[in-house]
Amino acid sequence: MFHSVTTRLIAWSLLLTGGVYLTTIGLSNRTGRRAAIAAAEREAAGDTDAAALEVEGTLSEVEESVAALARAVAELRPEPTALIGLVQRFTDDHRDMIDRYDVHLADAAPAAPPPWYRETLQRGTGAWTEPYLSPEVGGAAVMTWAMPIRGVSGAPEGVAAASLRLSFLSAAIRKVQLGQTGFALALSRRRVIVAHSSLDRVDALIDPLATLPPDLRAQVEPIVQRAESGESGFTAIPLNGRMFRLTMRPIGTTGGIVATGYAEDELLSDVSSLQRTQILLSASGLVLLAGAIVLISRRITGPLRGLAAGAGRLAMGDLDAALPSATSRDEVGALTDAFRNMRDSLKVYIRDLQQTTAAKERIEGEVEAARRIQADMLPPATAGGGAAGYELSAVLEPARAVGGDLFDHFEHEGRVFFLVGDVSGKGVPAALFMARTKTLFDGVATIEHDPGAVLATLNRSLCRQNEAGMFVTAVCGVLDPASGEVTFATAGHDPPVMVEAGGRCGPVDTEGGLVLGLLESGDYPVSRMRLEPGDALVMYTDGVSEAQDPEGQFFGAERVLAATRRDALAGAATITNGLLRDVKGFARGAPQSDDITILTMKRTRT
pLDDT tens sequence across 341-363: 777 787 788 888 878 877 777 76
- Is the CB of residue 556 less than 8 Å from the CB of residue 542? no
**CA 467 from centroid of its chain's CA atoms:** 64
User: Which helix H or strand E contains 417, and what residues bound it?
Assistant: strand 415-423
More reliable by pLDDT, 443 or 336:
443
Residue 125, strand partner residues = none
Q: Which domains does the chain have, with CATH numbers?
A: 1-267 (3.30.450.20), 270-346 (no CATH), 379-603 (3.60.40.10)
Tell me the C-alpha distance between 404 and 462, whole Å: 14
pLDDT 10s digits, 522-579: 789 999 999 999 999 999 999 999 999 999 999 999 999 999 999 999 999 999 999 9
More reliable by pLDDT, 418 or 362:
418
The angle subtended at Cα 412 by Cα 408 and Cα 415, nearest 5°, is 90
Tell me the C-alpha distance between 440 and 458, whole Å: 7
Phi-psi region of 159 (alpha: psi -120 to 50; beta: other; left: phi over 0): beta
Residue 273, strand partner residues = none
Per-residue CA distances from 350 to 263, 316, 317, 335, 343 (Å): 82, 14, 11, 22, 11
- Is the CB of residue 48 less than 8 Å from the CB of residue 258? yes
Q: What is the pLDDT of residue 363?
A: 67
- Is the CB of residue 481 less than 8 Å from the CB of residue 533? no
Residue 394's SS3 state is strand
- Kindly indicate the confidence band of residue 182, based on its pLDDT and cuts at 50, 70 and 90: confident
Supply the Cα-derived Rg of the chain in whole angstroms.
Answer: 62
Q: What is the pLDDT of residue 209?
A: 55
Alpha helices in 77-114 (DSSP H): 80-93
Tell me the C-alpha distance between 339 and 149, whole Å: 112
In one-letter notation, the amino acid at residue 274 is L
Q: What is the pLDDT of residue 600?
A: 96
**CA 69 from centroid of its chain's CA atoms:** 83
What mean pLDDT, rounded, does the chain reach? 81
- Is the CB of residue 104 less than 8 Å from the CB of residue 117? yes
Per-residue CA distances from 152 to 70, 74, 84, 148, 414 (Å): 13, 8, 22, 13, 165
pTM of the model as a whole: 0.47
Lowest mean pLDDT among 103-117, 274-288, 533-547: 274-288
- Kindly indicate the confidence band of residue 201, based on its pLDDT and cuts at 50, 70 and 90: very low
Closest CA to 533 of 423, 399, 388: 388
Tell me the C-alpha distance between 160 and 114, whole Å: 12
Tell me the C-alpha distance between 507 and 561, whole Å: 8
Tell me the C-alpha distance between 160 and 126, whole Å: 9
The angle subtended at Cα 471 by Cα 470 and Cα 477, nearest 5°, is 155
Closest CA to 507 of 560, 446, 429, 550: 560
Q: What is the pLDDT of residue 286?
A: 72
Q: Is the pLDDT of residue 119 over 60?
A: yes
Tell me the C-alpha distance between 87 and 159, whole Å: 12
Dihedral sign computed on CA atoms, order 22, 25, 29, 30: positive
Tell me the C-alpha distance between 597 and 396, whole Å: 4
The angle subtended at Cα 224 by Cα 219 and Cα 229, nearest 5°, is 135
User: Which helix H or strand E contains 538, and what residues bound it?
Assistant: strand 536-540
The angle subtended at Cα 254 by Cα 165 and Cα 134, nearest 5°, is 30
- Kindly indicate the confidence band of residue 98, based on its pLDDT and cuts at 50, 70 and 90: confident
Residues 6+ apart with CB under 8 A from 553: none
Tell me the C-alpha distance between 29 and 43, whole Å: 21
C-alpha neighbours within 13 Å on the C-beta side of residue 190: 12
Q: What is the mean pLDDT of residues 27-54?
A: 74
Tell me the C-alpha distance between 107 and 341, whole Å: 126
Q: Is the pLDDT of residue 29 over 90?
A: no
- Kindly indicate the confidence band of residue 508, based on its pLDDT and cuts at 50, 70 and 90: very high
pLDDT 10s digits, 458-500: 999 999 888 888 999 999 999 999 999 999 999 999 999 999 9
- Is the CB of residue 34 less than 8 Å from the CB of residue 245? no
- Kindly indicate the confidence band of residue 602, based on its pLDDT and cuts at 50, 70 and 90: very high
Q: Where are the beta strands (DSSP E) in 152-228?
A: 156-165, 183-187, 193-196
Lowest mean pLDDT among 155-164, 245-254, 297-306, 436-445: 297-306
User: How many CB atoms are closer than 10 A to CB 211?
Assistant: 13
Q: What is the pLDDT of residue 31?
A: 79
